[in-house]
Structures are given as C-alpha cells and as structure tokens.
Structure 1
Amino acid sequence: MKTEKRQALNLHGLAPSRVEDVEIQKRRALKLLRSKNTMLEKYIFLAQMRTNNVRLFYKIVIEELEEIAPIIYTPTVGTACQEYSNIYPFLAGPGVPDGLYLTKDSFSNLVETIKSYKPYADEEFKPDIAVISDGSRILGLGDLGVNGMGIPIGKLQLYVAGAGIDPRKTLPIILDLGTNNETFRNDEFYLGLRQPRPSDDEFYETVDTVLSALRTVYPGLMIQFEDWSSEHAFGLLEKYQSKMLCFNDDIQGTGAVILSGVMNAIRRVQKENNVLPSDHRIVFYGAGSAAIGVARQIQEYFTTEHNMTEDQAKRLFWIVDSKGMVTLDRGDKLAQHKIYYARDDNQGQQIKSSLDIINHVKPTILIGLSSIPGAFTKEILVRLGELNKNPIVFPLSNPATQAECTFEQAMQATNHRVIFASGTAFPAFTEPDTGKKHIPGQGNNMYIFPGLGLGAVLARPLSISDRMIYMASKALADSLTPEEISQGWLYPSLQRIREVSALVATAVCEEALSEGVAQDLKHIGDKSHAQLVDYVSSQMWVPVNDAYGTSRI
C-alpha cells in the first residue's frame, strides 16, 4: 500500500508492510476455508468474512459458487439455523448487524427502528429487496423461531451472487413472534422470544403493521416472503400479491423452478419415448405450500402450452399427505389449500399406502415435498421403473437429510433410467459396469428468484403477476445450451448462473411491459430482446476494488 494511502487511512504501524492483490487474498481465504473440518465451521468462517471483508467474500462466492453455495445455503444453512442461537455471537463483528430483528416491542417506534438498520455505517442504506420470515417453517426442519434468520441472510447472498443485486441494497428480516418449539423455548441459549405463537388474527395484524412500516420507509422495496407456515404462506400471498411488489419463494419460486425442470423432462420423454404431455400422471408426496405451489405452476404449463382446459390439467395430479391420497370424501377436514386437488373419482376408496397409490395411479412423474427422508423406497422406485421407460423422479425436500431418496438410490432402482432432479445437491453416479457418469439435476430456487427479483427491481411493476413468474420459468427451461441438452440435463450449469439470471430477469421485464405495468420505461422500454438482455447484464453488481467503505475492506 502506498505511503500516502497508509497515512490517509491511519494505518502506519497497524498492518504488515506487504501489499497484496485480491487474488492472493482469495487463495489464502480458500485455503483456510478448505482446512475446516465441518460444513458448520465453514459457514461460520464465511459469515465472519462477510462481516469483515464484503468485497472478498462476494468475489469468492461469485467465482466459486458451486463450492460455496452448499455452505451458505442448502444443505448447511439448515444446520446453521438449528444452531443459530449457539453460533450467533461468533458470526458478526461488534456493531455490525447481520439483519433486522423485529418484535412487537418494536412497534411503538417501528419506522425509526427500520431506519436505524444501517449495515454499512459509511453508506446511505436504501434497499431494493427484503427477504422476510417468521421462522415458522424453516426448510423441512419445522418451527425454528428467531433461529430462522439464517434463511433471509442466505437467500440475499444468493441474490448477490446469482443476479448481481448490490449487497448494500439487501435487507434480511426476521419477524420474531415467538415459537411453538418447546425445545427452543426451554433452551438457555435461545435468543428469541420465549412464548407461543399468536392467534391468526394477531398474526395478520402484526404482519400488516410491519409491511406498512417497511413500505413507508422504502416505498419501492420488493419483499420476498420466505419459510412461513403453509397456511400463513398462502394467506399472505393471497392478501398482498396484487397490492404490493412481493412474492412467496416457497410457493411461487419453488413452483417456477420445478416447472422448468418438469418442462425439460416432459420434452425429453416426448422426444425419446413418444410420451405425450397429456398422457402424464403426476403424484405429489407432500401437500404443504410448496407442493401446491409447484402443482399450480405445472398445471398452468399444461393449460398454456398444450391447450388443455383447467379441469383436464387438474386431473393429471394426485396429492398425498400423511393420511394417504387426498380425496374429498376421506372423512377428515382438509386444509383449504388441499381442497382444489382433492380427488372425487376414487369411488369411495381411501388409499393410504404409498406403494398402493403408485399401483393405483401408475404415475409417470413422482414429486416429493414431504420432508420425510426415504419416503421413496426401493420398492416404489423399482415399480416406477417397471411402469416407465424413463420415470421422472423429483425428491425436492431440503436439506439432504430430509430428501425422499438419493440420486444413487433412484439410479440403482431404475437400472440407471431415471430422469432426476432434487432440491439439494447430490453427488454424481457412475455405473459400475460401464463407468458411465450421470450428473443429477438440482431444482434449486437460485435459478429463479435472483433473476425474478432483479427483473422486478429493474421494471418496477406495481406487483408481480402469475404470468411474470410463469415466463421466468419458461426462460429458465429455454436457457439450456445444446451441449447441456445433449447430456440430458434439466437445468443449466451453475457456472452460468448470472447469464441465466439475466435471461430470467429479461423475461420478467418483457412481461411487465406486455402487461403495461412496468414503471421504468426510460431504461427498459423500446429495446429489442438482445438489447434488454445486455442492459440487464450491465446492471449486475461486481465486487470491484472500491465497492465498499474502508471499514469493510
């Protein structure tokens, strides 16, 4: 470092004399990271780096995303959330907040509380995107309360890495309403409120107060709802989707990314095995918000792309919950979100066994969002292989410990013929006899939500329509290169994530223009598709040398 700069920064005698470029710093950081014995230790190390050197942290995340994503998000973030109260004191430096923690005690001065959140003391803070959770349904791990803060933090890191959202324009929020998890309430180290969750009336009133205050402080803020309980997830989306710039990633993001993989799987089996789209039969194992959201998105594909009526498309779906196949005459009170897909053609049969359901439906596609590890047994997978030349199996529950089956299990049970995508990463499978290597697909929401968010930030629509999300999904499906298609991939390489996010964001902008709801016509109007892709790409943040104030580099 030059003498003048050391003097300006008052660093004489306070740092070693050697001057290093960022590439040396990156190699040192990766060496230390890779020396850690557990994924949780790696998570803590990266969190500390994010606090102390934002530019270096994001350079590593962006350039080594395939290695880093499983640490900062699934599967490791699940463990980090379970341990969050234990590791929290070691994640951030003094006076450096990792997110905004809101309770009802904040409400007497909520607007000022929100304004007080300044993660970068030497920067004016004006976020574009907030990710908010109440910690009530974290991944497949249940009610983790305030420990769920790891999810908004992780999602926003992926916004930066995947779509170039400036980290200074991201706001992670946990709304601490207590927890129904008695283990945490009785844990001496738990950092959240030690009280049961409120009634629905109080819940919706509280969320409304928070959202109103957020929009008062930051009128153009896009809000992503993340990991709320199923009933509240649907309730919030129904209440706010058309009133403000928001979406629910568990319902809409998951639905969109899985739809994209299903599109490519359906295209593949039609080309290779002449299975028509209308001939598919789809069983969902799991009936929560994510499952119904995925089903809705896939149904729209059949009605939009294959000229099926709503009822014809709906008849392609069978939903299975903990009590068996969901039917209208089952005898129990169905949750509101399950009723739409409840079958009325079961002739009084109530089928509970998973294998019996497979034999009854004879599905071509099996999708798991149950958070029940091993739910897709060898028996079930073998039967699917008997019924289909290329069975389509998507065990989507996160983290890996909750997945319905592994890639290896699916490959072995189907004689290596399965078309597979999971919600979390699995290793490649090599056929023992031939040495042929198979790469599993991963239906990672990171393929959708960063580009969707970037498109919303650039187009500034008043709200995010279902059609925008559908077009984002279609853009993802169409983003595969000829080489990726020839290899049987359902999703593009993560190494191309920013390129893919630019295409997704462009699709969102184009749909916002088509619907006449885009507010930033100055920058995105009157552009060809190629010009718009170039503009979107040019708006992505990169960790340049002077990206942050000196206190953080």
Structure 2
Amino acid sequence: MDAAKRSQLGLNGLSPVRVETLDIQKKRALHQLRSKHTLLEKYIFMAQMRTTNTHLFYKIVIEELEELAPVIYTPTVGTACLEYSNIYPFLAGPGVSDGLYLTDNTSSDLITMIQQYQPFPNETFQPEIAVISDGSRILGLGDLGVNGIGIPIGKLQLYVAGAGIDPRKTLPIILDLGTNNTKFLEDEFYLGLRQHRPNDQQFYEIVDKVIQSIHSVYPNILIQFEDWSSEHAFGLLEKYQKKMLCFNDDIQGTGAVILSGVINAIRKVQKESGVAPQDHRVVFYGAGSAAIGVANQIQHYFQIEHGLTEEQAKNIFWIVDSKGLITLDRGDTLAQHKIYYARDDNHGQQYKALLDIVNYVKPTILIGLSSIPGAFSSQVLTRIAELNEQPIVFPLSNPATQAECTFEQAMQATQHRVIFASGTAFPTYVEPNGKKHVPGQGNNMYIFPGLGLGAVLAKPSYISDRMIFAASKALADSLTPDEINAGYLYPSLPRIRQVSAIVATAVCQEAIDEKLAQSPDLLAHTASLLDYVVSHMWAPQSLHAPQPKSAASSTSRI
C-alpha cells in the first residue's frame, strides 16, 4: 500500500510501513504456531487468529489441514471444551463473539439475540448452516454444558476448510439449558447457567421455541444437531427430519462415514480372504445414538446393495451396552432406541463380558462406540484374530483418551492382520522389519461438509435417508487406485475438498432423483453437477479483503 493510500485510509503512523503478502503472513503465523508447546496452546493461538484474521486462518487450515485438523478439532477440541470456561477470555478479539449463546428466553428475546449476532464487521450476515448443541454429550466426555460451544465452532471450521462453505455463512450455537455435571456447577469459573437440566417436556418445548426463532430470522438455514444426549438426539431427529432442512451428525453423519469404511473393508476382505458380505457378523460395543445410527446405515447397505431382507440384515448385528449383550429377555427396561436390535435368539443365555460375547457371536467386525478406553483388550483382539484371517476392528470413540484400543495395540494383538479405522487419529505403526501401516480414521469430516454443501446447493425440502446413503457410497467410491492398493479405507486427508465435492454432487443428484431439490439454479445445471458444486466452493484466495474505512476497521476479519 503506497503512502497516498495509507494517508487516505488514515493509517499513517499506526502500523509498520511494509505491506506483506498472505504467504509471508502465513509463514510467520506457522512459525509462531509451531513454537507452542501443547496442543491446547496451539488451539488458543488458532482461535485468536480465527476471530481476528479469518482470511489468514482459513488459508493456513486449508493448506496445512493434516497438521491443523488435530489442533482445531479432535483430539484437541475435547481438551478445549473441558477447559472452555478457563480459556474463553483468551479466544476472541475485543468485541468479537466466537458463537451464539442461547438460553430459555421468551421468543421475542430469542429472535433479538439471534439477530444481533453479527460476527463480521461491515458484512451482511446471512448464514446457510448452523451447528447447534446443548452440550449434554460432548464427544465421549459427557455433559459439559456451555463449554460444549467448542464443538459447533470446530465443526463449522471443517465445513469451511473441507467443503468450501463461506465462513461468513456459518452459525455456531450453544443452547445453554444448564448442566447436570456437579463439577461445573461448583466451579467458580464455569460460564454457563448454574442449574440442572430441564425435564423432557420442558426440554422439547424450549428446543422447539429455539428452532422456530432461528427459522424466523433465517428461514432457509440448514441445521446440524451435534452432541445431544442419545435419547434427545433420536427424539429431535424423529421430530424434525422431514419438517425442515436438518440432520444429526452423531446419528447420520457418523453412520455414513463408518458405513463407507465398512464398505471398503468388506470389499477388501471379500477380495483377499473370500468372505462374502452376507456372512459378516457385527458386534457393536456401545449402544448410544452414534452406535445405533451406524448400525442403521450398515443395515441399509446390506439391504440395498446385497439384497438382504430387513430381518436378514438386522440379524447381522449384536449390540452391547454397559449391562452386556442387549436381549429382549435380559430383565431390564430397554431405552427405546435399543429395542430394535435386541436379540431374541439367545435361548435365555445372557453375556456381559466382551470376551464372552466375542466367543459367543464369533464376529468378523468389532465396532466400538462406548467411550470406554481399553475396552478392546489384548485378549479380545487376539481372539478376534483367531476367528478371522483379516479381523475388522473400528474403535471409534473420541477423543483418543476414550478410544477402545490404539492402532498399535490392534496391530500387535492381531499379528499385523487387522483392518483398522478409528474415530481419532493414531500414528503410523512400523513393524520390526520396517514395514509401515497407516491407520484409517473414520472421521465425520469426510461426510458432513460434503453433505451440508450438497444440501445448501440443492435446497431439498428435507434430507432423506437415501441422500445420507448416497453420501456414504460416494465417499467409499472416491478412493483412488493408489489408495486402494495401499489398503486405505478412507481417502487421504489432503484430498478432502475434492472428496467433499464428490459427496456433495452425490447428495445433489439424489435430491434431484427424489424430486426434493428446490434450487432452480441447480436444476439448470444437472448435466454438469460436479462442476457446479466446485464452482460454489469458497476459498481464501477467491476473496478480496474489504478496504478499511478507518484505522478502527483495519482489522476486518475477512
């Protein structure tokens, strides 16, 4: 910027004279980031950048995603949520909110609160996607109350980095209804409401009021439900799925991304070990919303792709909760979402220990969504390796501290024969002979950004189950020949934007096929859907930072 321009903008003497390229700014920022000693320190540094220089933040995240994804989301986001009330004052710039904090106010107050959230100075804020949580079940960490705001913020960062959603069109929301976590209720630094959560009737009334208020302000917004307690997650999805544009990432997103990995694992085992798809037996260790959502997705795959009846496909699954194998005659009252998969062929026998269940079922696939670290013991892993030439083991609980086993443990217990995917990142395993094995990661990041982008572009009246399945199938089919030959179950992370475009295109095509798409612009480009999707993906390089009108506005975030 020359002296005349600086003078015109009133900037003379207020900053150093040198004008730098974005690449130099990125280089400096990375130098500072890499000097931090802990992941939480890196999280705080990146959060400050996000709220003060969004343009630079997303350039770094997009171009260095493998390095930054674990910083801005799992596993670090779990620690950040646990510490959110302590670190909150250090995350955002002056006068900048990092998200929308809603409580149980009257409808008029809610509408005002929603309208006054304007995170980008001098920008018209018209969000296309909102991620909303009540903080009641954050990752595998439980009820974190208002501290759970880190999850909606993190998810929307991945929408921008992974699928090119414009950051100015994202809305992170935490619905603060209190917490049943005694630790936070007694913590002098806790920033949320110091009250216990409402009963179910009050809960659904409050959420309905909030949803109506959001739609009153932003009628066409896509709402992603994230990290709600299992019962409420299913209840909200059942209530709203066909009434508005929404989905639940824990149920549908997790189900879709794990199904994609399972599809590729089944293909690999069939090709290399001759195990037919219909001969698989799947044990789920964990019976929350994510587990049942994954089971539903895999079941639909067996029905749609392999011609099994609903009953035949359902009988492939054995679900385990904290009391053991779920059966109809176990003697306890089952939560509604568990009843469908409860077994009735156990001949009165009950099994509690996972090793006993493995010996009874003889599974080919073991999936963990229990948040119980170490649940897949060496004995369990060794036994499943004795039963299968290529055992499929997916310990999916997040963060890493809650995972049922590590990649190293699975490799060692199965003599390096395991087909593995986890919910959190694990390091490459190297055999004594130097052979390297790269673990798969069933990260929802492979699904929800593309699913959301496709929904925003197609504007369907609702997101159907077949759209979710189309997203999953597209992800499974997106592997390159090199990735298949390397034994990958998921694409390499640097390809995430390309993969998200493929997923979004599949969602758009399914919306068109089901006659649910309502976007005239999309319907005019059906012959070149992929090109249309790619052309609508935001990238930092495509924006020009608005010129500041004064020194006070010279730190504009975009």
> Per-residue displacement from partner, 1:295-348 (whole Å, max 9, x unpaired)?
000000000000000000000000001111000000000000000000000000
Which residue is 1:441 aligned to? 440
Question: Which secondary structure state, in structure 2, belongs to the residue aligned with residue 421 of structure 1?
Answer: strand
Matches of 1:480 and 1:268, distance apart in 2: 13
Matches of 2:9 and 2:188, distance apart in 1: 42
For the pair 1:532 / 2:497, whether they are aligned, the reply is: no
Question: Which secondary structure state, in structure 2, belongs to the residue aligned with residue 104 of structure 1?
Answer: coil
Which residue is 2:540 aligned to? 543
* 1:525 CA displacement: 3.8
Which residue is 2:551 aligned to? none
Structure-2 change in CA distance of 1:424 and 1:460 (3 Å): same
Which residue is 2:182 aligned to? 182
Which residue is 2:52 aligned to? 52
5 Å-filtered alignment, 1:125-524, equals 125-432=125-432, 434-524=433-523
The code of the aligned residue for 1:535 comes to: Y
Matches of 2:132 and 2:284, distance apart in 1: 27
Q: Does the CA-based 8 Å contact 1:509-1:524 persist in structure 2? A: no
Structure-2 change in CA distance of 1:327 and 1:408 (3 Å): same
Structure-2 change in CA distance of 1:145 and 1:106 (3 Å): farther
Q: Does the CA-based 8 Å contact 1:373-1:404 persist in structure 2? A: yes
Which residue is 1:552 aligned to? 557
Identity %: 75
* 1:9 CA displacement: 2.7
Instruction: Say which is worse superposed, 6-15 or 137-146, in terms of deviation.
Output: 6-15
Unaligned 5+ segments in structure 1 are: none
* 1:524 CA displacement: 3.7
> Per-residue displacement from partner, 1:113-132 (whole Å, max 9, x unpaired)?
11110001210100000000
The code of the aligned residue for 1:285 comes to: Y
Unaligned 5+ segments in structure 2 are: 549-555
Question: Which secondary structure state, in structure 2, belongs to the residue aligned with residue 319 of structure 1?
Answer: strand
Q: Does the CA-based 8 Å contact 1:455-1:508 persist in structure 2? A: yes
Q: Does the CA-based 8 Å contact 1:422-1:442 persist in structure 2? A: yes
Question: Which secondary structure state, in structure 2, belongs to the residue aligned with residue 105 of structure 1?
Answer: coil
> Per-residue displacement from partner, 1:270-292 (whole Å, max 9, x unpaired)?
00011000100000000000000
The code of the aligned residue for 1:251 comes to: I
For the pair 1:101 / 2:98, whether they are aligned, the reply is: no
* 1:10 CA displacement: 1.7
> Per-residue displacement from partner, 1:445-471 (whole Å, max 9, x unpaired)?
000000000000000001000000000
Q: Does the CA-based 8 Å contact 1:55-1:548 persist in structure 2? A: no
* 1:485 CA displacement: 0.2
The code of the aligned residue for 1:500 comes to: V
Structure-2 change in CA distance of 1:239 and 1:548 (3 Å): farther
Question: Which secondary structure state, in structure 2, belongs to the residue aligned with residue 174 of structure 1?
Answer: strand
Matches of 1:166 and 1:369, distance apart in 2: 32
Structure-2 change in CA distance of 1:8 and 1:469 (3 Å): farther
Q: State the Cα RMSD in Å.
A: 0.9
Matches of 1:15 and 1:535, distance apart in 2: 42
* 1:93 CA displacement: 1.1
Matches of 2:403 and 2:155, distance apart in 1: 20
Q: Does the CA-based 8 Å contact 2:525-2:532 persist in structure 1? A: no
Matches of 1:368 and 1:4, distance apart in 2: 63
Q: Does the CA-based 8 Å contact 1:123-1:549 persist in structure 2? A: no
> Per-residue displacement from partner, 1:508-532 (whole Å, max 9, x unpaired)?
000000011101133344523xx21
Q: Does the CA-based 8 Å contact 2:107-2:213 persist in structure 1? A: no
Aligned pair count reads 550
Structure-2 change in CA distance of 1:525 and 1:348 (3 Å): farther
* 1:110 CA displacement: 1.6
The code of the aligned residue for 1:321 comes to: D
Q: Does the CA-based 8 Å contact 1:513-1:525 persist in structure 2? A: no
The code of the aligned residue for 2:138 comes to: I
Structure-2 change in CA distance of 1:549 and 1:508 (3 Å): farther
* 1:549 CA displacement: 6.0
Question: Which secondary structure state, in structure 2, belongs to the residue aligned with residue 160 of structure 1?
Answer: helix
Instruction: Say which is worse superposed, 88-97 or 471-480, in terms of deviation.
Output: 88-97
Structure-2 change in CA distance of 1:217 and 1:421 (3 Å): same
Matches of 1:350 and 1:243, distance apart in 2: 41
The code of the aligned residue for 2:536 comes to: Q
Instruction: Say which is worse superposed, 543-552 or 251-260, in terms of deviation.
Output: 543-552
5 Å-filtered alignment, 1:108-119, equals 108-119=108-119
> Per-residue displacement from partner, 1:33-76 (whole Å, max 9, x unpaired)?
00000000000000001111110000000000000000100000
Instruction: Say which is worse superposed, 16-25 or 449-458, in terms of deviation.
Output: 16-25
Q: Does the CA-based 8 Å contact 1:454-1:505 persist in structure 2? A: yes
* 1:2 CA displacement: 1.6
TM-score, normalized by length of structure 1? 0.98
Structure-2 change in CA distance of 1:411 and 1:549 (3 Å): farther
